[in-house]
Amino acid sequence: MRETDSWEGTGPTGVRLDEVVPSQNISLSQMGGGKAQLIKQLGPSFPEEFETYFEPFLGGGAVFFHLRPEKAILSDTNAELVNAFQIVRDDLERLADALERHYPHRNSEAHFYRVRKQVPPRKWTSLSQRD
Q: How confident is the model at residue 10 (pLDDT cuts 50, 70, 90)?
A: very low
Contact between 94 and 101 under an 8 Å Cβ cutoff? The reply is no
Q: Average model confidence (pLDDT) for the chain?
A: 75
pLDDT at 94 over 80: yes
Range with the lowest mean pLDDT among 1-5, 18-22, 33-37? 1-5
Contact between 1 and 77 under an 8 Å Cβ cutoff? The reply is yes
**What percentage of the chain has pLDDT greater than the value 90?**
11
C-alpha triplet 118, 119, 123: angle, nearest 5°: 135
Residue 109 to residue 98: CA distance in whole angstroms: 19
Measured over the CA atoms of residue 31, residue 82, residue 8 and residue 128, the dihedral's sign is negative
Question: pTM of this prediction?
Answer: 0.61
Chain centre distance of CA 109:
25
Per-residue pLDDT tens over the stretch 38-87 = 888 888 899 888 899 998 888 888 888 888 888 989 888 888 888 888 88
Best CA proximity match to 70, nearest among 23, 8, 4: 8
| Burial class of residue 59 in the structure, from the number of CB atoms within 10 Å of its CB (0-12 exposed, 13-18 middle, 19+ buried) | buried
